[in-house]
Amino acid sequence: MIAVDAAAEREGLLARGLAALRGDAERWPLWVPVGFGLGIAAYFSLADEPAPWLGSAVVLLLALAAWWLRHLAPARIAIAVLAAPAIGFAAIQISAQIAEAPRVERRMAATGIEGRIVHAGPRENGIRLTIAPERIDGWTGPLPRRLRITVGQRLAAPLAAGAEPGRRVAMRAVLLPLPPPSAPGAFDFPRQGYFQGLGGLGYATTPPRLLEMGEGGGIGEAIAGLRQAITSRIQSTIGGAAGAVAAALVTGERGAIPEAVNVAMRDTGLAHLLSISGLHISLVAGIVFLGLRTLLALIPGLALHRPIKKWSAAGAILAAFFYLLLSGAEVPTQRSFLMSAIVFAAVLVDREAISLRLVAWAAGAILLLSPEAMVGASFQMSFAAVLALVAAYEAARERIRGLRAGLGAPGRILLYVGLVCFTTVIATAATTPFALYHFNRFAAFAMPANLIAVPLTSFWVMPWAVIAVLAMPFGLEAWPLAAMGWGVEAILRAAAWIARWPGAAWTVPAMPDFGLALCALGGLWLCLWRHAMRWAGLAAIAAGLLGIGWVQPPDVLVDGDGRAVAVGGPGGYWVFETRQAEIAVDTWLRRAAADRLEWPEAARGGLPSCDARLCRFRARGERIVIARRRDALTEACRSADIVIALVPMRWDCGRGVVALDRRELERGGAHAIRLGGGRPRVTTVAEQRGRRPWTGTEPGAEDQ
């Protein structure tokens, strides 16, 4: 009897669930972009590159099946469910094939380079050029599409005269391949660079020489030149960190922002202000819309007889499009422009457009046009925040309208403050899993920081920014830029103050991939449905966050070039460095949420110890020895459970000793070793990345 009752209860739950899904049938199309994303995620999860025709073939087969089975409703639903992931998979395959280009595979000593400047961005200590190379001495075969060359402050003087996009430049520079991940699972810069057309990095060894203007730049280089000119005028007028931040708000050029400012903004939850996205685009479009409508309303003939609201909406769309181009058209800006354009287009046709359907359209467009963006923090955090905010305000819309009705000026001010708090809580909650996954940081005081910074940005900084850009053609931008600078300076002071509060930022260990997937799918389930089953998404989010404690941080980390080794100790890592490897070490400590142990304090118990030949450690009962010279290998093998040789080894240590030598590190990249539970478990960057277009080695450049 009990079994029958349990079966009946399960059938009842299933029936109620299916009824709820049918009741939300108008929301089914919202899941189409999610299907695109699942297909893209499947592509990036593969260890080996699939056949280039696979995605397109599956889409074609599904299209044929849809036509053949068009009279069967269950078959149509099943094909529709499979079609979206297949289309996403095909889109990313096509994008990967288009992005294929030569790249620097190994270090090239200082060599002559000529090329056309694509972008020249200021840095704290010089200028960073992105060039389209036209000649590289010693290079055979097709050239990379783009190179990123850093020119130090000492060598950058010739560029001050006019390093505008389209100008040809010549220099001698050391060229380097894009650095692989610092640890298994860490950020994959070569993958990002592959889709951006970036074939290598480098640094100039001689002052660059500016040559004549190149050919074929077109509208893109004209816009880049305008962007660079506006950036220069803002920075020269305001100056300092405030000038760098002001330029970032207008043109998206963040390279000159001091690292201390970036850290303070990140630790206070204000980093979103430095990346042009929904707030900035909507403010610019809204300011232009209100300004145009106010000016047109002052002309009675137009106000009474012409649709000035629609004219103003058209002007807002054009302003948002100009801002999109001026800011570099990054993924958050593309999404924000699409959504703002649809909102104001709805004004043109007398409809209300802010909805989850709008978010889905924007996400679908970006996933089809730039599918590689999906694996980036920018896309994930941008859409997570917008999706959560639209869903939350959609659910609370009637309640907010009821609260606003009948309120006077003081009440409306209090309501605005409350809504800023509400917005901050929702956006922070939505983006926290992605911030933990990509940056391992959580800003504890984001709400008070945003309560100060968002109103200042909305009502002071951005209006003056719009006025300044409009005044630039007439040379009248000095006073609006000065006013803008006062607001930016106030924001930076608030950020620095709040960042000093105890516990302002927490560092957490790296979240595993499955944890992020659970959080993302749980958030989508919570936001896209309206029935009661949506609350199950909270359980998925909680399980994803608990995944942070599931993965054991590595006990030993070794850089792929043998430049640094980190061994786990009480509360942190002991770090041995042979050469400069600060970025790798910082990445290790951040991903493990660990401190760097000081050698003098740690050495009181006898270990670690280091001399000219050997460094000895002990972790989880295992003896770890770093052999610094060839004549130390025999002793290292005899006295260790794990040997890390910074020189090539010609024999195996035997008797179960785990040995890594210089050649093994070069083949596998950075190594992570986990101890306990028997034999040490070794994971390498090469294993984690697989054999993909951005990981292979191609002939082309030779060492000079």
Q: What is the CATH number of domain 108-216?
A: 2.40.50.140
Q: Mean pLDDT across the stretch 543-568?
A: 88
Q: Mean pLDDT across the stretch 164-177?
A: 89
Name the residue with higher pLDDT: 488 or 290: 488
CB 397 within 8 A of CB 352: no
Is residue 2 predicted with pLDDT exceeding 60? Answer: no
% pLDDT > 70, the chain: 91
Average per-residue pLDDT in the chain? 84
pLDDT band at 703 (very low <50, low <70, confident <90, very high): very low
Q: Mean pLDDT across the stretch 450-468?
A: 88
Q: Mean pLDDT across the stretch 377-398?
A: 85
CB 498 within 8 A of CB 268: yes
pLDDT, residue 35, reads 94
Q: For residue 225, which of 153, 331, 156, 328 has the smallest C-alpha distance?
A: 328
Range with the poorest average pLDDT among 364-368, 420-424, 618-622: 420-424
The string of pLDDT tens digits covering residues 647-684 is 888 777 877 788 888 888 888 899 999 988 778 889 99
Q: Mean pLDDT across the stretch 514-528?
A: 93
Is residue 189 predicted with pLDDT exceeding 70? Answer: yes
The string of pLDDT tens digits covering residues 556-604 is 999 988 888 998 888 889 888 766 788 888 999 999 888 888 765 444 4
Is residue 4 predicted with pLDDT exceeding 60? Answer: no
Is residue 5 predicted with pLDDT exceeding 60? Answer: no
Extended beta strands in 197-265, E state: 198-204, 209-213
Is residue 701 predicted with pLDDT exceeding 70? Answer: no
Is residue 11 predicted with pLDDT exceeding 60? Answer: no
CB 529 within 8 A of CB 24: yes
DSSP state of 678: S
**Domain residue ranges of the chain, discontinuous segments joined by +:** 22-99, 108-216, 233-370+447-507, 513-549, 556-689
The string of pLDDT tens digits covering residues 132-156 is 999 999 898 899 999 999 998 888 8
Tally of CB atoms within 10 A around 64 = 11
Tokens read off for 522: 């749980």
pLDDT, residue 698, reads 41
Tokens read off for 244: 């760098």
pTM of the model: 0.85
